[in-house]
Amino acid sequence: MSNRLPLDGITVIELGHSVAAPYAAEILGDLGAEVIKIEKTGGDDARKWAPPYWHDMSSTFQSLNRNKRSAVVNLRDANERDALRRLIVEQGDVVVQNLRPGSAEEFGLDAGTLRGLKPDLIYCNIGAFGAQGPMKDRPGYDPLMQAFAGLMSVTGEPDQRPVRVGTSIIDMATGMWAVIGVLTALLQRKGSGGGTTVDTSLYETALGWMCYHAANFQASGELPVRQGSGAAMIVPYRGYATKNGFIVIAAGNDKLFASLSKVLKHPEWPQDPRFKTNPDRVKHQGVLYASIEELIREKTSEEWQVLLDEADVPNAPMQTIEQVLAHPQTKALGMMQDSPDGRISLLGLPLSFDGVRPAFRKDPPALGAHTSEVFPASSAASKRA
């Protein structure tokens, strides 16, 4: 990849807070866009998601806001609002927003208003429940969507309470869908010269993650149940307690099952009518899993890794984040990137171009650090007043 990043020359205005829009804008910034983060007087709510703090700033906020500038705007002040509108019209290529439902329209910062002033603008709405329907004006957060769209009904152990996936997977995935939409609209603009309104939402993203559960239910009429670390339609394909930890083994086809059976010293299993094919194993998973679990407890995770690797059976021990960050594979990929000032390290974009990962170019900004740069005329007028 040349020194020029894919989105060099593109200016993104982020009207975002929390996770979804900031994550989308961070990706666009990593890809080379100039990102101007517009914040309310008190700042993005994520600035207060602490402890822990990292150099006097929420570590969560820092993980979502590198490669940006921050400018403070009071949207209830007509002059500041007008200045923001001018900035978008004069400099903006893309707007990404996840304001409270109705706020963009209230302040004249909605797609209709801004695209009327700048027809080639790409405007991305990140909503909660979507742009249409009886719930379109309801706010939403990641755990609400995991519950409402059914993810919690299929996450966790079958005999325990449902649980949330342990990261903001709906927020962050919605941010990724926003980026896919924005990149598509930029490509389309090259041909047509016109802008686009992109819509995505947390609920639509959560529904998207339920695609095969929905298909399986419609095909069978049976509600999916929580599978712990496993999968309803592939057996054996789950985690097991070892002598010193936990290991996941994915024997996802008949050949791998035969190899696993040999490792476990039960080469006869693939000929057992209960276990011959994957549908057979799914039907009799209770007895098969009970047998495997008893055997796996006899050795450590490390011992099983050696045996399974020798047999080419896919496996992975459960690691803590400390182990993950220290692992040679993580280091070899160069995923951890130091900030320009060297004070912090963050996981970089999981994407490379010609073997080069986009760099960590700008530290996560202090609140309003670039207001005077972004709005020089407004700042000068404010000082004179």
**Residue of 196, 57, 64, 55 lying closest to 142 (CA atoms):** 64
The reply to whether 102 and 16 lie within a common domain is yes
If asked whether residues 51 and 135 sit together in one domain, one would say: yes
Expressed as residue numbers, the domain containing 307 is 237-323
My answer on whether 317 and 344 are in the same domain is no
**At 347, is the pLDDT very low, low, confident or very high (cuts 50, 70, 90)?**
very high
Domain check: are 247 and 115 in the same one? no
pLDDT of amino acid 245 = 96
User: In this structure, is residue 220 part of a structural domain?
Assistant: no
The verdict on residue 222 lying in a domain is no
Domain-embedded: residue 102: yes
User: pLDDT tens for residues 140-174?
Assistant: 999 999 999 999 999 999 989 999 999 999 999 99
Place of tokens 């974009």: 349
Q: What average pLDDT score do residues 199-211 get?
A: 97
Same domain, 162 and 249: no
Distance CA 186, CA 165 (A): 32
223 CB-near residues (< 8 Å, 6+ apart) = 153, 217
> Is 180 found in the same domain as 37?
yes
Q: Which residue has the higher pLDDT, 379 or 50?
A: 50
The pTM of the full predicted model, rounded to 2 decimals, is: 0.92
Residues 342 and 377 in one domain: yes
For 14-18, what is the mean pLDDT?
Answer: 96
What torsion do the CA atoms of 369, 375, 377, 382 make, to the nearest 10 degrees?
A: -60
| Same domain flag for 200 and 292 | no
Residues 342, 205: one domain? yes
**219 lies in a domain?**
no
Single-letter code of the amino acid located at 122: I
In a domain, 83, yes or no: yes
Residue 202 lies in a domain: yes
Q: CATH number for the domain including 315?
A: 3.30.1540.10
Instruction: Give me the residues paired with residue 322 across strands.
Output: none
Rounded CA separation 381/221 (Å): 66
Q: Which CATH number goes with the domain that contains 348?
A: 3.40.50.10540
**For the sheet containing 69-72, what is the strand order?**
69-72, 34-39, 11-15, 94-97, 122-127, 196-201
- Residue 228 lies inside a defined structural domain of this protein: no
Count up the domains in the chain and report the number: 2
Q: Are residues 183 and 43 in the same domain?
A: yes
Point out the catalytic residue in the list 171, 254, 280, 354. 171
Angle at which helices 301-310 and 254-263 cross, to 10°: 130
Residue 4 confidence (pLDDT):
85
Residue 268's pLDDT band, with cuts at 50, 70 and 90, is: very high
Instruction: Classify residue 377: in a domain, yes or no.
Output: yes
Please indicate whether residue 171 is annotated as part of the active site: yes
